Chains A and B, each alone.
Chain A
């Protein structure tokens, strides 16, 4: 495996696994399995609102703060909803809030040709492109939240285990102490969960975070009832599955997030089989999976380059780049992408840019090309920019090109 390429993603996954493995046990006990998906979607709405209101970039701290504010609104909604509308389960409220938040995100971004790249990016994530500063920020955020979980472990665990009992009045204030205090503890719990989910989803996408949250917790529940052993089992299982998932993605050239999720699910099936089937059957299944992993190790990295299709819509110049360096949406520039952006920036004639524009299908590159063309030749650049805007690209890129056109018009540039 390419350690240079996969070392940081592995470290990022370990950090996420550490906090999500613990949170997952709470989530299962509270039976709010889909909280992650709903919370992540709510945070996205906050981030889009930050962009529309303040022009904040998706990876800025302002966007994260607005995402957290949206998570706080969701936390208040869940805590009050659970207490005040007991006719329907909390999971129903979570499901409906997910649908509303997803619709709001689509509504705000405006579904246009090219928008699919962003939705795909949000689902699949881009953990491959994690950087050292992401690791540092993750350690700080997850560490702070973990400290909160340690300090308040007793009331959180009590509410997770016995909600109705905890909501009874007359308990000691530090424990839980009646419905009003349970609502307050619930809000704090969901805000802490939201802070982790908001940050982790930004790095790794909805799918991988969901898998880290649920699968290790379910596997650990198969072997123990106590919190301590469950945590250790979940972490160990998650680590092995993550390493195997990275290997799978590296050898067969699949996206990282879905690959790790796949191996987590495969591991869960094995763990469940070990509890249900006889030892001989379990050993047989395990041997087949182990043989598959050994075969992956033996397969040279070159074997994967054969039948890959250029699904990410990169221009011809980039298709020659190794498939494992494909560029997901919203990722920082990495070697291949950087090369293409350099090519755009170094183009000296509008004709060159037109050829690149014709080749590109990714709106990120098209927006770069249109802006560069406007710099070179405002009149010819405007034709290219208008052609781009007619394609109804996603909001961010539409604004980027519109602002460049506006700057040219007002003579600022």
Chain B
């Protein structure tokens, strides 16, 4: 029993660290309607890992992380650089095409790898059983550095979100690069789906109730952590699959928040 409690505490510690930055970055993504940029970066990180495998670099090793990082930084540059001037082509369409290209790359590389489908799926589902204290330490350290960076330059990023930023492409790249780096760290552990849910759901819940950045991060983190804790406990107690249980728990919180927002409109924050 103590071993289970120890493992649960380990998972909750990692979640507590991860959710702060994810909620903050997620708020930027929701407010700027770049919803699927995370899926593009997730898929590019997976493609990097698959290309690494093709070159003989084992999955979830430092070499594999480097391959994924290179790929997501390239993706961040493309996401920041390609902004269609044509009003008939929304920016989300560019994101969609980059996602399709990354998925095509993953499937075609997977076609030529022995057991390729297994790797393609592994990148979707992740494996929380790989969580160890050193990994929590490295993740926490990188997240702390990124959080410090975003705290220092928060005004620039908030100006970016409100569309009043000079050197927009540079700051856009830095935002997507942050998103990419946290993706590389979290996807091998949590998988694409859970990483995406961490980023989107707490932020979307917070965005429904407030437009202030500080309270939104705090509220999103609180709701997200509460939902994840419920998911973790359910997964441990009933032996349910880890990732899907957490996503469903977060999804339940989102549906409840939508219901509250629809039934009790109050002082609705206008888009």
Contacts and interface: CB of A to CB of B under 8 A. Distances in A.
A214 B247 contact: no
A313 interface: yes
B93 A33 contact: yes
Query: Which label, helix, strand, loop or mixed, suits the secondary structure of the A interface?
Result: helix
Nearest to A86: B271
Interface of B: 30, 33, 35-36, 39, 86, 88-90, 92-93, 95-97, 100-101, 103-104, 107-108, 110-118, 120-122, 124-125, 193, 196-197, 200-201, 204, 207-209, 240-241, 243-245, 247-248, 250-251, 254, 258, 261-262, 268-271
Given A86-B270, A99-B197, A307-B112, 7 more contacts: A86-B268, A89-B30, A95-B35, A123-B107, A255-B111, A258-B104, A311-B116
21 contacts: A28-B90, A80-B262, A87-B209, A87-B269, A87-B270, A91-B35, A92-B35, A92-B204, A103-B244, A106-B125, A107-B248, A120-B121, A207-B100, A215-B100, A225-B88, A258-B111, A259-B108, A261-B103, A265-B97, A311-B111, A311-B117
A162 to B, nearest CB: 13
A103 B251 contact: yes
Contacts of B33: 31, 89, 91-92
Contacts of A307: 112
Contacts of B196: 95, 99
A124 B103 CA distance: 9
A184 interface: no
A94 B241 contact: no
Contacts of B101: 262, 265
A143 interface: no
A85 B191 CA distance: 29
Query: Which label, helix, strand, loop or mixed, suits the secondary structure of the B interface?
Result: helix
A218 interface: yes
A33 B90 contact: yes
Interface residues of A, number: 62
Contact of B243 (A106, A215, A218, A312): A106
A125 to B, nearest CB: 10
A255 B88 contact: no
Given A99-B193, A258-B104, A33 B95 contact: yes
Contacts of B89: 28, 218, 221-222
Contacts of A93: 204, 258
Contact of A87 (B36, B93, B108, B207): B207
Contacts of A218: 89, 93, 97
A94 B107 contact: no
Contacts of A119: 117, 120-121, 124
Interface string A190-207: 000000000000000001
A86 B197 CA distance: 20
A124 B251 CA distance: 26
B108 A254 contact: yes
B114 A311 contact: yes
B122 to A, nearest CB: 7
B240 A107 contact: yes
A413 interface: no
Interface stretch (A109-117, A233-241, A331-339, A377-385): A109-117
A410 to B, nearest CB: 29
A123 to B, nearest CB: 7
Nearest to B196: A99
Interface in A270-297: none
A311 to B, nearest CB: 5
A311 B92 contact: no
A262 B243 contact: no
Contacts of B262: 80, 84-85
Given A103-B247, A262-B108, A89 B115 contact: no
A260 to B, nearest CB: 9
A384 to B, nearest CB: 23
Contacts of B96: 33-34, 210, 214
B193 A103 contact: yes
A110 B254 CA distance: 23
A310 interface: yes
A311 B243 contact: no
Given A207-B107, A262-B108, A309 B35 contact: no
